[in-house]
């Protein structure tokens, strides 16, 4: 049904905004950038599905806009955009397809509501054309409106609006050096949590529940990094196999919280529910970081569906090849956003600012960030428009920014290259630590850099060790338990013949593939897990844990569980009923407490390694099992063990009143070998003695109280273990004697 043309309205801001029109008439202003379009229709939907179309007759600098009186929060809408159908030049307009507003702040409905494959009607071309090699060139004239979700008008002050739940919210503002990041999936973290009411499991409200928050605070993590919560769609190839996109790296709405994670409703209520979740986490002192996917969208390549941007202006939003019928794909997902265009940059930065200023989040982890930094010629450039736009933005340059510093294109691997204030996922840390603990490092040169903050990667351009986000596992790959339980991936349940997922796992199964009843192998695996966790949390840099790793979560050897929205992908809270896994959780919390209590373990600046007067002690020193400082030849020699001396004297930081910060001095001993090893503790001037604080060889984790060693003594370092000792001064020894 065709309604009257919309009133002129305003081109600013983009999206749907409830406001007062002429003479104070209430309604909503709609504005859509659609460069190259010939006409735009706003389509409003009643509760019974009746569609009323209003022409947006006004165009200002490629923005089509109009005001419709009487449209209030909760109303559903979409767009039909008219223009040429000429795929050979990249033009793919098709007004038969209802398009989601890129600025929609809430989405109601699903692209596959019955769980089956995507309907053919949601494709702009004839999906099932007999000649598939030209199918994308044949326009499909069927109406897609009955089969696609709609945007929802959201009022700022309405229940469920972006200001709902914001009163009294205070951001934790945790400094980078004090941060411990915990990567989790909103749905997977809560689906099996016995303390979360069943009706809230898998939702934002479930993550905000005190039972879920209590685990985070007991661990001591300072930030949650949420796998994608932007509105996303499920790929057709998964739906045809009875699977769904679980991780959510298939975004289609950059302003809308994913409706599938809402417990309270999808007519805008999901916005307030998300905001209430942020407030609950902030109240607990926990920051919220979003994993965001601005590098591609759910529309995939030329044979993908037409859901939003492709039908608004295909050439304006996506990178196209020299043959403009094809897409430049630096993401492995079929398309790549064209971030050198001002309106695409505006979409991304408007979205980021919205999540910071109106939704309360504290930072972002950018999926395949190198794809965003590519220039018009497709090369990666750290002076690219995207990075420049972020750097000058007064809101965005102040939040936590984390790059996944690679993509799948040529020249995409950029670890160490992103400029301040960016931090980066450091996969070289992951690889070195995995290889050390499985006995595959030829020497420890690389490991030394990784444990001490990766100065070889980040010691330039005023960057510090906090630029390195250290991780051993992430959502993508083996869980920590699977890392010590499997030599090979086991992705058969994904339905891709076990071809998906990386072959490069750097894992060792400890003597048996998968689960086993062998008590020796089970004990060995837990010991290796303790060593891995201790290494991560005692390293310089920003540690990132993955939800469930602290309690032995397993995916049964699946290293690509992106489509496993089931017990494989969810956290199994019953593991905490096992005393062994509970002990691992307790160790994780203890290590985080140690890190929080000792600034030498979370330095914001790199070690100098220089000898300091009056005794020539270095702030960082490395020791062989002989108790001698490592020489250049020692770094090149194969070894299973090394000692790291961390001096708490003369730390390069001051307290809020300007006084120097000092700390205890520690000696960490790492031994990845299969047999005990004699290790001589360094003597004076490094220490007058040592006190044992942590021994990961012990199942119960508690070092016997008062265990001390003389400086220069030889101790037996247990196989596959980490020992942390506090260096004692002569005054410490006198105090003990007294």
Average pLDDT over residues 174-179: 97
pLDDT range class, residue 115, cuts 50, 70, 90: confident
- Residues 639-649 pLDDT 10s: 999 999 999 98
First and final CA of the chain: distance in angstroms? 92
Instruction: Inform me whether the pLDDT recorded for 703 exceeds 60.
Output: no
* E strand map for 415-554: 423-426, 468-470, 542-546
Percent of the chain with pLDDT over 90: 90
Task: Give the confidence band of 47 by pLDDT, cuts at 50, 70, 90.
Answer: very high
Closest among 435, 434, 466, 432 to 447, alpha carbons compared: 432
d(CA 470, CA 468): 6
Which residue in 235, 273, 404, 619 is the catalytic one? 404
Contacts of 108 (CB under 8 A, 6+ apart): 76, 149, 150, 151, 152, 259, 266, 267
Torsion of the alpha carbons at 588, 592, 593 and 598, rounded to the nearest 10: 140
Look at residue 718 and tell me if it is in a domain.
yes
Determine, yes or no, domain membership for 674.
yes
Q: Are 303 and 135 in contact (CB under 8 A)?
A: yes
What is the SS3 assignment for 709? strand
CATH code: domain of residue 665? 2.60.40.1180
pLDDT of residue 461: 83
Q: What is the pLDDT of residue 734?
A: 75
| Confidence (pLDDT) at 4 | 81
- Confidence band for 158, pLDDT divided at 50, 70 and 90: low
Confidence of residue 159 (pLDDT cuts 50, 70, 90): low
In a domain, 697, yes or no: yes
Structure tokens at 674: 């299969």
Report the distance separating Cα 241 and Cα 237, nearest Å.
7
SS3 567: coil
Query: Number of folded domains in the chain?
Result: 1
Predicted local confidence at residue 705, as pLDDT: 60
Residue 163 banded pLDDT, cuts 50, 70, 90: low
**Residue 563 in this model has a pLDDT that exceeds 60:** yes
pLDDT tens-digit map of 571-600: 999 999 999 999 999 999 999 999 999 999
Q: What's the confidence (pLDDT) of residue 379?
A: 93
Q: Which domain holds residue 620?
A: 607-735
Quote the CA–CA distance of 633 and 204 in Å, as a whole number.
54
Mean pLDDT for the chain overall: 95
* Beta strands 150-152 and 468-470, pairing class: unpaired
Quick one: pLDDT band at residue 167, thresholds 50, 70, 90? low
pLDDT of residue 136: 97
pLDDT at position 731: 82
Q: What are phi and psi of 427, to 5 degrees?
A: -75, -20
Least confident of 88-92, 156-160, 410-414: 156-160
Phi and psi for 584 in degrees, rounded to 5?
-65, -40
pLDDT at 501: 96
pLDDT interval class at 737 (50, 70, 90): low
210-219 vs 579-597: helix crossing angle, rounded to 10: 60
Q: Can you give the pLDDT at residue 123?
A: 98
Report the SS3 class of residue 693.
Answer: strand
Residue 613 lies in a domain: yes
Average pLDDT (341-364) is: 98
Q: What is the dihedral of CA 295, 297, 300, 301, to 10 degrees?
A: -60
pLDDT in the model for residue 473: 98
Reported as a pLDDT band with limits 50, 70 and 90, residue 736 is low
Query: Does the annotation count 214 as an active-site position?
Result: no
**Which of 235, 273, 362, 367 is the catalytic position?**
367
629 among known catalytic residues: no
Supply the pLDDT for residue 614.
83
Q: Is residue 51 part of a domain?
A: no
Q: Residue 656: pLDDT band by 50, 70, 90 thresholds? A: confident
Contact assessment for residue 223 and residue 287, using Cβ atoms and an 8 Å cutoff: yes
Instruction: Say yes or no to pLDDT of 420 above 60.
Output: yes
Residue 731 within a domain: yes
Answer whether 604's CB lies under 8 Å from 653's CB.
yes
Q: How many Å apart are CA 539 and CA 472, to the nearest integer?
A: 12
Band the pLDDT of 79: cuts 50, 70, 90: very high
- Tally DSSP H helices, then E strands, for the chain: 17, 31
pLDDT category at 701 given cuts 50, 70, 90 is low
Measured CA distances, 500 to 312, 504, 506 (Å): 33, 12, 17
Which structure tokens are listed for 169?
A: 């919210």
**Residue 685: pLDDT above 90?**
yes
Instruction: Note whether residue 683 is domain-resident.
Output: yes
Specify if 356 maps to a domain.
Answer: no
pLDDT for residue 17: 97
Instruction: Please answer whether residues 489 and 557 qualify as being in contact, where contact means their C-beta atoms are separated by less than 8 angstroms.
Output: yes
> Are the C-beta atoms of residues 121 and 339 closer than 8 Å to each other?
no
């Amino acid at each position: 049904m065709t309604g009257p043309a919309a009133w002129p309205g305003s081109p600013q801001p983009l999206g749907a905004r409830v406001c007062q029109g002429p003479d104070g008439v209430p309604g909503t202003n709609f504005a859509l950038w659609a460069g190259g379009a010939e006409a735009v229709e706003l389509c409003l939907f009643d509760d019974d599905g009746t569609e009323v179309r209003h022409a947006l007759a006004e165009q200002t600098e490629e923005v089509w806009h109009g005001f419709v009186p009487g449209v209030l929060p909760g109303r559903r809408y979409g767009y039909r955009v008219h223009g040429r159908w000429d795929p050979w030049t990249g033009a793919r307009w098709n007004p038969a397809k209802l398009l989601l507003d890129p600025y929609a702040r809430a989405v109601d409905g699903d692209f596959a509501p019955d769980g089956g494959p995507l309907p053919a009607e949601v494709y702009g071309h004839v999906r099932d054309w007999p000649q598939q090699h030209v199918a994308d060139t044949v326009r499909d004239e069927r109406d897609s409106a009955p089969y696609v979700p709609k945007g929802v008008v959201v009022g700022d002050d309405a229940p469920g609006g972006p200001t709902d739940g914001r009163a009294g919210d205070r951001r934790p503002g945790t400094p980078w050096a004090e941060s411990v990041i915990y990567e989790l999936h909103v749905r997977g973290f809560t689906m099996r949590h016995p303390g979360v009411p069943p009706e809230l499991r898998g939702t934002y409200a479930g993550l905000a529940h005190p039972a879920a928050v209590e685990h985070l605070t007991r661990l001591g993590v300072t930030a949650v990094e949420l796998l994608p919560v932007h509105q996303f769609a499920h790929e057709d190839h998964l739906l045809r196999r009875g699977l769904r996109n679980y991780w959510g790296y298939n975004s289609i709405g950059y302003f809308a919280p994913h409706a599938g994670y809402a417990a309270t409703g999808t007519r805008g209520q999901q916005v307030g529910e998300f905001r209430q979740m942020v407030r609950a986490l902030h109240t607990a002192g926990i920051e919220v970081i979003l994993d965001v996917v601005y590098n591609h969208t759910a529309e995939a390549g030329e044979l993908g569906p037409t859901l939003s941007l492709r039908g608004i202006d295909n050439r304006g939003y996506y990178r196209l090849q020299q043959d403009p019928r094809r897409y430049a794909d630096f993401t492995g997902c079929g398309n790549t956003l064209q971030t050198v265009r001002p309106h695409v940059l505006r979409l991304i930065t408007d979205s980021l600012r919205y999540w910071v200023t109106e939704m309360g989040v504290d930072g972002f982890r950018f999926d395949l960030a190198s794809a965003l930094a590519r220039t018009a010629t497709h090369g990666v450039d750290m002076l690219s428009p995207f990075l420049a736009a972020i750097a000058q933005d007064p809101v965005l340059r102040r939040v936590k920014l984390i790059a996944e510093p690679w993509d799948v294109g040529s020249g995409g691997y950029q670890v160490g290259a992103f400029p301040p204030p960016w931090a980066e996922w450091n996969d070289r840390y992951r690889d070195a630590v995995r290889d050390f603990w499985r006995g595959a490092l030829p020497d420890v040169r690389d490991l030394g850099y990784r444990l001490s903050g990766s100065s070889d990667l980040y010691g330039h351009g005023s960057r510090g060790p906090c630029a390195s986000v250290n991780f051993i596992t992430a959502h993508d790959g083996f869980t920590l338990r699977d890392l010590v339980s499997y030599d090979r991936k086991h992705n058969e349940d994904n339905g891709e013949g076990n071809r998906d997922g990386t072959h490069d796992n750097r894992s060792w199964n400890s003597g048996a593939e998968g689960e086993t009843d062998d008590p020796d192998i089970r004990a060995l695996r837990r010991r290796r897990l303790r060593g891995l966790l201790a290494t991560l949390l005692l390293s310089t840099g920003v540690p990132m844990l993955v939800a469930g790793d602290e309690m032995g979560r397993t995916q049964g050897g699946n290293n690509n569980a992106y489509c496993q929205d089931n017990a494989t992908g969810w956290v199994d809270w019953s593991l905490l009923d096992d005393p062994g896994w509970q002990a691992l959780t307790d160790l994780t919390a203890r290590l985080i407490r140690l890190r929080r209590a000792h600034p030498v373990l979370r330095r914001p600046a790199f070690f100098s390694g220089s000898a300091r007067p009056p005794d020539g002690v270095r702030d960082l020193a490395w020791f062989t099992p002989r108790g001698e400082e490592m020489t250049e030849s020692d770094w090149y020699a194969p070894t299973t063990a090394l000692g790291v001396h961390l001096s708490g004297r003369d730390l390069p930081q001051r307290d809020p009143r300007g006084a120097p910060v000092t700390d205890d001095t520690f000696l960490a001993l790492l031994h990845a070998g299969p047999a005990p090893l004699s290790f001589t503790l360094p003597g004076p001037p490094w220490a007058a003695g040592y006190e044992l604080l942590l021994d990961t060889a012990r199942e119960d984790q508690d070092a016997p109280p008062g265990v001390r060693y003389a400086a220069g003594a030889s101790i037996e370092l247990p196989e596959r273990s980490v020992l942390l000792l506090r260096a004692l001064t002569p005054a410490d020894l006198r105090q003990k004697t007294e």
